[in-house]
């Protein structure tokens, strides 16, 4: 596997179109879940430089912090708590343009201003979430959801 990521400049779509095939190639070669989650967050952080990129995995009916890049974060989130717990409970992608306006948002950092959370669904069961925080308002939209979903779908459990 190539060890250097090719980082692209350009529109957000151009960036996704360049980085996603690289991510898919990296994780296709490896069977270990933690190794793959770690490389996914590293690649996304390196390309987009978002404030925080990480996974939470469902363990014993809680979301537990998994590989991430960024400042330290809360380790456990209950179902229906915060954006992550809501995305888990609702099995739905949640896009939050302003975290301060989101009821129940869990502020791991005051620098986080907007957020997207994608549930990882397999046979209708949520196994975890991908959580991305931005230090700017209104960072994420359906384009992000669409491209990030391609990464979610490629993760093998
Ligand atoms: N803000 C999230 C908590 C996780 S951190 O952002 C890393 C939430 O409301 O679920």
Classify residue 75: in a domain, yes or no: yes
- Phi, psi for 112 (deg, rounded to 5): -75, 125
Q: Three-class SS string for 40-104?
A: HHHHHHHHHCCCEEEEEEEECCEEEEEEEECCCCCCEECCCCHHHHHHHHHCCCEEECCHHHCCC
pLDDT, mean of residues 75-100: 98
pLDDT digits (tens, 9 = 90+) for 93-147: 999 999 999 999 999 899 999 999 999 999 999 999 999 999 999 999 999 999 9
Classify residue 7: in a domain, yes or no: no
Nearby residues of 107 by Cβ (< 8 Å), 6 or more positions away: 99
Indicate the pTM of the whole model. 0.97
Q: Output the CA 70–ligand 1 centroid distance in Å.
A: 12
Q: What is the CATH number of the domain that holds 144?
A: 3.30.450.40
Q: Residue whose CA is closest, atom 1 of ligand 1?
A: 106
- Which atom of ligand 1 is found nearest the CA of 81? 10
Q: How many domains does the chain have?
A: 1
Classify residue 120: in a domain, yes or no: yes
67, 71, 73, 132: which to mutate for ligand 1, most atoms within 8 A of CB? Answer: 73
Domain of residue 54 covers 12-154
Classify residue 1: in a domain, yes or no: no
Nearest Cα neighbor of 132 from 117, 143, 120, 121 is 117
Q: Is the CB of 108 under 6 A from ligand 1?
A: yes
């Amino acid at each position: 596997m190539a060890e250097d990521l090719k980082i692209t400049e350009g529109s957000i779509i151009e960036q996704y179109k360049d980085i996603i095939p690289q991510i898919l190639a990296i994780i296709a070669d490896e069977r270990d879940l933690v190794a793959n989650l770690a490389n996914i967050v590293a690649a996304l952080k390196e390309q987009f430089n978002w404030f925080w990129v990480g996974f939470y995995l469902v363990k014993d009916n809680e979301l537990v912090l998994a590989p991430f890049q960024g400042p330290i974060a809360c380790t456990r989130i209950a179902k229906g708590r915060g954006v992550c717990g809501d995305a888990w409970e609702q099995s739905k992608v949640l896009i939050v343009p302003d975290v301060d306006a989101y009821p129940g948002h869990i502020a791991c950092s005051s620098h986080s201003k907007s957020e997207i959370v994608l549930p990882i669904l397999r046979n209708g069961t949520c196994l975890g979430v991908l959580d991305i925080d931005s230090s700017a308002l209104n960072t994420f939209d359906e384009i992000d959801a669409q491209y990030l979903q391609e990464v979610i779908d490629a993760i093998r459990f």
